[in-house]
Copies of this chain bind each other. A is one copy, B any other.
Amino acid sequence: MTSFESDYNNGAHPFVLRQLIETNNSNSSSYGSDIWSEQARQKIRKACQTPDADIYFLVGGTQTNATVIDGVLTGYEGVIAVESGHINVHESGAVEAFGHKVITIPAHNGKMTAEDLRAFHNRFYADSSYEHMVIPGIVYITMPTELGTIYNASEIEAIYNLCQEYEIPLYIDGARLGYGLMSEKCDFDLPWLAHHCDVFYIGGTKQGALCGEAVVFPRNNAPRHFFNIIKQHGALMAKSRLAGVQFDALFTDNLYFDLSKHAINKAMQLRQLFSEANIPIKESPTNQQFVTLSHQQMEYLKSKILFETWEPVDETHSLCRFVTSWATTDEDMNLLSEALKQL
Protein backbone atom coordinates (compact mmCIF):
# COMPACT_ATOMS: atom_id res chain seq x y z
CA MET A 1 0.00 0.00 0.00
CA THR A 2 1.26 3.47 -0.73
CA SER A 3 2.61 5.05 2.40
CA PHE A 4 2.95 8.56 3.75
CA GLU A 5 3.68 7.22 7.22
CA SER A 6 7.18 8.50 7.64
CA ASP A 7 10.44 9.34 5.93
CA TYR A 8 12.13 6.26 7.33
CA ASN A 9 9.85 3.61 5.87
CA ASN A 10 11.99 3.14 2.81
CA GLY A 11 15.35 1.69 1.92
CA ALA A 12 18.41 3.58 0.75
CA HIS A 13 18.42 6.07 -2.10
CA PRO A 14 19.52 4.14 -5.21
CA PHE A 15 22.81 5.99 -5.49
CA VAL A 16 23.60 5.36 -1.86
CA LEU A 17 22.84 1.69 -2.33
CA ARG A 18 25.00 1.54 -5.43
CA GLN A 19 27.96 2.94 -3.55
CA LEU A 20 27.49 0.33 -0.83
CA ILE A 21 27.57 -2.34 -3.50
CA GLU A 22 30.61 -0.93 -5.24
CA THR A 23 32.69 -0.60 -2.11
CA ASN A 24 31.60 -3.88 -0.59
CA ASN A 25 34.62 -5.91 -1.57
CA SER A 26 37.28 -3.53 -0.34
CA ASN A 27 38.96 -3.87 3.01
CA SER A 28 38.88 -0.86 5.25
CA SER A 29 39.97 0.54 8.54
CA SER A 30 37.32 0.73 11.21
CA TYR A 31 35.96 2.91 14.01
CA GLY A 32 35.77 5.99 11.82
CA SER A 33 39.16 5.77 10.15
CA ASP A 34 37.99 4.22 6.87
CA ILE A 35 38.61 6.14 3.68
CA TRP A 36 34.93 6.72 2.86
CA SER A 37 34.32 8.35 6.19
CA GLU A 38 37.29 10.58 5.54
CA GLN A 39 36.03 11.41 2.02
CA ALA A 40 32.59 12.14 3.42
CA ARG A 41 34.08 14.45 6.01
CA GLN A 42 35.91 16.38 3.33
CA LYS A 43 32.76 16.75 1.23
CA ILE A 44 30.70 17.87 4.21
CA ARG A 45 33.36 20.36 5.26
CA LYS A 46 33.22 21.76 1.76
CA ALA A 47 29.43 21.85 1.66
CA CYS A 48 29.41 23.67 5.01
CA GLN A 49 32.32 25.94 4.09
CA THR A 50 33.91 24.96 7.39
CA PRO A 51 37.35 23.63 6.51
CA ASP A 52 38.24 22.97 10.16
CA ALA A 53 35.06 21.16 11.15
CA ASP A 54 35.27 18.08 13.38
CA ILE A 55 32.85 15.55 11.93
CA TYR A 56 31.67 12.26 13.44
CA PHE A 57 29.20 9.72 12.09
CA LEU A 58 26.74 8.17 14.51
CA VAL A 59 23.89 5.78 13.90
CA GLY A 60 20.60 7.39 14.89
CA GLY A 61 19.01 10.58 16.11
CA THR A 62 18.28 9.85 19.77
CA GLN A 63 21.76 8.45 20.19
CA THR A 64 23.25 11.50 18.52
CA ASN A 65 21.33 13.90 20.71
CA ALA A 66 22.27 12.08 23.91
CA THR A 67 25.93 11.82 22.90
CA VAL A 68 26.36 15.42 21.76
CA ILE A 69 24.48 16.91 24.70
CA ASP A 70 26.25 14.76 27.28
CA GLY A 71 29.55 15.36 25.55
CA VAL A 72 29.21 19.13 25.63
CA LEU A 73 27.72 19.44 29.12
CA THR A 74 29.50 19.25 32.43
CA GLY A 75 27.93 16.70 34.79
CA TYR A 76 25.65 19.08 36.65
CA GLU A 77 24.43 21.09 33.66
CA GLY A 78 21.15 20.79 31.78
CA VAL A 79 19.93 21.46 28.26
CA ILE A 80 17.36 24.12 27.38
CA ALA A 81 14.73 22.97 24.89
CA VAL A 82 11.18 23.88 24.00
CA GLU A 83 8.49 21.73 25.56
CA SER A 84 7.73 19.99 22.28
CA GLY A 85 11.42 19.32 21.58
CA HIS A 86 12.21 15.78 20.53
CA ILE A 87 14.63 15.24 23.41
CA ASN A 88 11.92 16.27 25.86
CA VAL A 89 9.15 14.12 24.48
CA HIS A 90 10.14 11.21 22.29
CA GLU A 91 13.54 9.97 23.33
CA SER A 92 12.56 7.89 26.37
CA GLY A 93 14.67 10.00 28.69
CA ALA A 94 17.95 9.34 26.88
CA VAL A 95 19.33 12.72 27.93
CA GLU A 96 18.32 12.22 31.55
CA ALA A 97 19.80 8.72 31.49
CA PHE A 98 23.19 10.44 31.36
CA GLY A 99 22.22 12.68 34.27
CA HIS A 100 21.13 15.87 32.54
CA LYS A 101 17.84 17.68 33.02
CA VAL A 102 15.91 18.92 30.02
CA ILE A 103 14.94 22.46 31.04
CA THR A 104 11.87 23.47 29.09
CA ILE A 105 10.65 26.82 27.81
CA PRO A 106 7.53 27.40 25.71
CA ALA A 107 7.24 26.22 22.12
CA HIS A 108 5.74 28.35 19.34
CA ASN A 109 4.76 26.04 16.51
CA GLY A 110 7.61 23.85 17.65
CA LYS A 111 10.09 26.72 17.73
CA MET A 112 12.07 28.52 20.40
CA THR A 113 12.10 32.29 20.46
CA ALA A 114 15.01 34.45 21.50
CA GLU A 115 12.58 36.37 23.69
CA ASP A 116 11.70 33.28 25.70
CA LEU A 117 15.32 32.28 25.96
CA ARG A 118 16.27 35.73 27.20
CA ALA A 119 13.38 35.77 29.67
CA PHE A 120 14.39 32.37 31.01
CA HIS A 121 18.00 33.42 31.34
CA ASN A 122 17.20 36.68 33.09
CA ARG A 123 14.73 35.06 35.47
CA PHE A 124 17.16 32.27 36.23
CA TYR A 125 20.11 34.44 37.15
CA ALA A 126 17.92 36.94 38.98
CA ASP A 127 16.78 34.15 41.25
CA SER A 128 18.97 34.25 44.34
CA SER A 129 18.62 30.50 44.70
CA TYR A 130 19.76 29.63 41.20
CA GLU A 131 22.60 27.57 42.59
CA HIS A 132 19.88 25.20 43.82
CA MET A 133 18.64 24.84 40.27
CA VAL A 134 20.01 23.11 37.19
CA ILE A 135 22.55 25.36 35.47
CA PRO A 136 21.82 25.58 31.72
CA GLY A 137 24.79 24.48 29.63
CA ILE A 138 23.54 24.09 26.07
CA VAL A 139 20.59 25.24 23.96
CA TYR A 140 18.85 22.67 21.76
CA ILE A 141 16.62 23.50 18.80
CA THR A 142 15.38 21.41 15.90
CA MET A 143 15.49 22.50 12.26
CA PRO A 144 12.96 21.76 10.92
CA THR A 145 10.91 21.19 14.03
CA GLU A 146 8.85 18.15 14.98
CA LEU A 147 5.86 20.01 13.49
CA GLY A 148 7.53 20.64 10.16
CA THR A 149 8.07 24.33 10.79
CA ILE A 150 11.35 26.12 10.13
CA TYR A 151 13.30 29.00 11.54
CA ASN A 152 14.11 32.17 9.66
CA ALA A 153 17.74 33.21 9.59
CA SER A 154 16.90 36.15 11.81
CA GLU A 155 15.32 33.86 14.41
CA ILE A 156 18.34 31.59 14.59
CA GLU A 157 20.65 34.55 14.58
CA ALA A 158 18.85 36.08 17.55
CA ILE A 159 19.08 32.82 19.49
CA TYR A 160 22.72 32.33 18.57
CA ASN A 161 23.61 35.86 19.57
CA LEU A 162 22.11 35.23 23.00
CA CYS A 163 23.97 31.93 23.26
CA GLN A 164 27.22 33.70 22.56
CA GLU A 165 26.39 36.43 25.04
CA TYR A 166 25.55 33.80 27.68
CA GLU A 167 28.49 31.60 26.70
CA ILE A 168 26.26 28.61 26.12
CA PRO A 169 26.70 26.56 22.95
CA LEU A 170 23.82 26.26 20.47
CA TYR A 171 23.05 22.78 19.14
CA ILE A 172 20.78 22.22 16.17
CA ASP A 173 19.12 18.85 15.68
CA GLY A 174 18.97 18.39 11.92
CA ALA A 175 17.36 14.97 11.66
CA ARG A 176 15.56 16.38 8.61
CA LEU A 177 17.94 19.23 7.90
CA GLY A 178 17.85 18.87 4.13
CA TYR A 179 14.07 19.03 4.04
CA GLY A 180 14.30 22.24 6.05
CA LEU A 181 17.00 23.86 3.96
CA MET A 182 15.27 23.02 0.67
CA SER A 183 11.96 24.49 1.79
CA GLU A 184 10.91 27.44 -0.33
CA LYS A 185 10.47 29.44 2.87
CA CYS A 186 14.00 28.84 4.11
CA ASP A 187 16.12 32.00 3.82
CA PHE A 188 19.51 30.47 4.64
CA ASP A 189 21.72 27.65 3.43
CA LEU A 190 23.97 25.02 4.97
CA PRO A 191 27.10 27.20 5.23
CA TRP A 192 25.08 29.93 6.92
CA LEU A 193 23.73 27.43 9.42
CA ALA A 194 27.17 25.99 10.10
CA HIS A 195 28.34 29.49 10.97
CA HIS A 196 25.43 30.21 13.28
CA CYS A 197 25.67 27.45 15.83
CA ASP A 198 28.28 25.48 17.75
CA VAL A 199 27.29 21.97 16.78
CA PHE A 200 24.61 20.44 14.60
CA TYR A 201 23.89 17.21 12.87
CA ILE A 202 22.95 16.41 9.32
CA GLY A 203 20.36 13.66 9.35
CA GLY A 204 20.93 10.66 7.15
CA THR A 205 18.37 8.09 8.29
CA LYS A 206 15.38 10.17 7.16
CA GLN A 207 17.19 11.56 4.15
CA GLY A 208 18.15 8.64 1.96
CA ALA A 209 20.54 6.56 4.06
CA LEU A 210 19.83 3.25 5.79
CA CYS A 211 21.19 4.78 8.95
CA GLY A 212 23.60 7.47 10.04
CA GLU A 213 23.78 11.02 11.27
CA ALA A 214 26.73 13.36 10.70
CA VAL A 215 27.68 15.48 13.72
CA VAL A 216 29.46 18.68 12.77
CA PHE A 217 31.47 20.85 15.16
CA PRO A 218 32.10 23.63 12.68
CA ARG A 219 35.21 25.20 14.14
CA ASN A 220 37.37 22.30 15.29
CA ASN A 221 35.46 22.61 18.54
CA ALA A 222 34.55 19.02 19.39
CA PRO A 223 34.78 18.26 23.12
CA ARG A 224 38.06 16.68 24.19
CA HIS A 225 38.03 12.90 23.77
CA PHE A 226 34.76 12.99 21.82
CA PHE A 227 35.71 9.64 20.27
CA ASN A 228 35.76 8.19 23.77
CA ILE A 229 32.41 9.81 24.57
CA ILE A 230 30.88 8.25 21.46
CA LYS A 231 32.22 4.86 22.51
CA GLN A 232 30.92 5.27 26.06
CA HIS A 233 27.48 6.01 24.60
CA GLY A 234 27.61 2.78 22.59
CA ALA A 235 27.48 4.91 19.46
CA LEU A 236 30.76 3.95 17.84
CA MET A 237 30.40 1.83 14.71
CA ALA A 238 33.01 -0.86 14.21
CA LYS A 239 32.22 -0.93 10.49
CA SER A 240 32.16 2.83 10.24
CA ARG A 241 32.33 2.41 6.47
CA LEU A 242 28.57 1.84 6.56
CA ALA A 243 28.00 5.46 7.54
CA GLY A 244 31.02 6.72 5.64
CA VAL A 245 30.03 5.29 2.29
CA GLN A 246 26.48 6.55 2.64
CA PHE A 247 27.41 10.11 3.56
CA ASP A 248 30.07 10.10 0.88
CA ALA A 249 27.30 9.27 -1.58
CA LEU A 250 24.82 11.77 -0.15
CA PHE A 251 27.33 14.59 -0.48
CA THR A 252 28.32 13.69 -4.01
CA ASP A 253 26.95 15.90 -6.80
CA ASN A 254 24.48 17.71 -4.55
CA LEU A 255 22.47 14.51 -3.95
CA TYR A 256 21.52 15.39 -0.38
CA PHE A 257 19.92 18.65 -1.49
CA ASP A 258 18.35 17.28 -4.65
CA LEU A 259 16.57 14.49 -2.86
CA SER A 260 15.46 16.93 -0.17
CA LYS A 261 14.08 19.22 -2.82
CA HIS A 262 12.20 16.31 -4.32
CA ALA A 263 10.46 15.64 -1.02
CA ILE A 264 9.56 19.30 -0.65
CA ASN A 265 8.04 19.39 -4.13
CA LYS A 266 5.91 16.39 -3.29
CA ALA A 267 4.89 17.95 0.01
CA MET A 268 3.74 21.09 -1.72
CA GLN A 269 1.70 19.01 -4.19
CA LEU A 270 0.23 17.19 -1.24
CA ARG A 271 -0.78 20.50 0.38
CA GLN A 272 -2.46 21.43 -2.85
CA LEU A 273 -4.40 18.16 -2.94
CA PHE A 274 -5.71 18.55 0.60
CA SER A 275 -6.64 22.17 -0.01
CA GLU A 276 -8.60 21.18 -3.09
CA ALA A 277 -10.37 18.59 -0.96
CA ASN A 278 -11.23 21.34 1.53
CA ILE A 279 -9.38 19.57 4.30
CA PRO A 280 -7.75 21.87 6.87
CA ILE A 281 -3.98 21.67 6.71
CA LYS A 282 -1.50 23.28 9.11
CA GLU A 283 1.12 25.70 7.96
CA SER A 284 4.26 23.70 7.22
CA PRO A 285 6.84 24.43 4.55
CA THR A 286 8.63 21.09 4.84
CA ASN A 287 8.01 17.40 4.20
CA GLN A 288 5.78 16.76 7.20
CA GLN A 289 2.17 17.86 6.71
CA PHE A 290 -0.58 17.83 9.31
CA VAL A 291 -4.23 17.70 8.29
CA THR A 292 -7.45 17.53 10.28
CA LEU A 293 -9.60 14.61 9.21
CA SER A 294 -12.98 13.47 10.41
CA HIS A 295 -12.99 9.93 11.71
CA GLN A 296 -15.06 8.95 8.69
CA GLN A 297 -12.47 10.44 6.35
CA MET A 298 -9.70 8.72 8.28
CA GLU A 299 -11.40 5.37 7.99
CA TYR A 300 -11.77 5.64 4.25
CA LEU A 301 -8.26 6.97 3.64
CA LYS A 302 -6.66 4.32 5.84
CA SER A 303 -8.18 1.68 3.60
CA LYS A 304 -6.21 3.15 0.71
CA ILE A 305 -3.09 4.76 2.11
CA LEU A 306 -0.80 4.44 5.12
CA PHE A 307 -0.42 7.53 7.31
CA GLU A 308 -0.15 8.33 11.00
CA THR A 309 -2.82 9.57 13.40
CA TRP A 310 -1.07 12.30 15.36
CA GLU A 311 -3.43 13.44 18.10
CA PRO A 312 -7.16 13.95 18.75
CA VAL A 313 -8.62 17.33 17.78
CA ASP A 314 -12.17 16.87 19.05
CA GLU A 315 -14.69 14.08 19.49
CA THR A 316 -14.97 13.45 15.78
CA HIS A 317 -11.69 14.70 14.29
CA SER A 318 -8.02 13.89 14.57
CA LEU A 319 -4.86 15.52 13.40
CA CYS A 320 -3.09 13.21 10.97
CA ARG A 321 0.44 13.33 9.62
CA PHE A 322 1.40 12.80 5.99
CA VAL A 323 5.11 12.69 5.26
CA THR A 324 6.84 12.84 1.91
CA SER A 325 10.43 11.90 1.35
CA TRP A 326 13.07 11.47 -1.35
CA ALA A 327 11.26 8.19 -2.11
CA THR A 328 7.79 9.61 -2.72
CA THR A 329 6.68 8.92 -6.30
CA ASP A 330 4.21 10.43 -8.73
CA GLU A 331 2.24 7.23 -8.35
CA ASP A 332 2.01 7.82 -4.59
CA MET A 333 0.64 11.29 -5.30
CA ASN A 334 -1.88 9.98 -7.81
CA LEU A 335 -3.16 7.38 -5.40
CA LEU A 336 -3.57 10.03 -2.73
CA SER A 337 -5.33 12.30 -5.18
CA GLU A 338 -7.73 9.53 -6.17
CA ALA A 339 -8.46 8.68 -2.58
CA LEU A 340 -9.13 12.29 -1.63
CA LYS A 341 -11.62 12.60 -4.46
CA GLN A 342 -13.67 9.77 -2.96
CA LEU A 343 -14.14 11.49 0.41
Contact A100 B93 (CB under 8 A): yes
Contact A76 B92 (CB under 8 A): yes
Q: How far is the CA of A97 from the CA of B225 in the complex (A)?
A: 15
List chain B residues, Cβ under 8 A from A235.
63, 234
Given A11-B26, A23-B11, verify A210-B93 contact (CB < 8 Å): no
Interface membership of A228, Cβ < 8 A: yes
**Nearest B residue to A127 by beta-carbon distance?**
B311
Minimal beta-carbon separation of A30 from chain B (angstroms): 5
The residues in A between 58 and 107 inclusive whose CB is less than 8 angstroms from any CB of B are: 59-67, 70-71, 73-76, 78, 89-94, 96-102
Q: How far is the CA of A62 from the CA of B134 in the complex (A)?
A: 13
List chain B residues, Cβ under 8 A from A237.
59-60, 211
Contact B27 A229 (CB under 8 A): no
Q: How far is the CA of A312 from the CA of B129 in the complex (A)?
A: 14
Minimal beta-carbon separation of A309 from chain B (angstroms): 7
Minimal beta-carbon separation of A150 from chain B (angstroms): 21
In the assembly, how many copies of this chain are there?
4
Contact A239 B8 (CB under 8 A): yes
List chain B residues, Cβ under 8 A from A98.
75, 97, 99
Chain A 232-267 per-residue mask, 1 if CB under 8 angstroms from chain B, else 0: 111111110110000000000000000000000000
23 residue pairs bridging A and B, Cβ less than 8 Å apart: A8-B238, A11-B26, A17-B20, A20-B20, A20-B210, A60-B238, A73-B75, A75-B98, A75-B99, A75-B229, A75-B232, A76-B92, A76-B93, A90-B129, A90-B132, A91-B234, A93-B134, A93-B232, A97-B98, A135-B228, A205-B238, A205-B239, A211-B238
A-B pairs, 7 with minimum CB distance: A63-B234, A11-B24, A92-B231, A92-B232, A93-B134, A8-B238, A93-B101
Excluding A9-B30, A21-B21, A96-B101, 20 further A-B contacts by CB distance (< 8 Å) are A6-B30, A8-B238, A8-B239, A9-B27, A11-B239, A17-B24, A60-B234, A66-B234, A67-B234, A75-B75, A75-B229, A97-B98, A98-B99, A99-B99, A127-B311, A128-B309, A131-B228, A132-B228, A135-B228, A210-B242
Contact residues of A with B, CB < 8 Å?
A: 1-3, 5-6, 8-12, 14, 17, 20-21, 23-30, 59-67, 70-71, 73-76, 78, 89-94, 96-102, 126-129, 131-135, 205-206, 210-211, 224-225, 227-229, 231-239, 241-242, 306, 309, 311-312
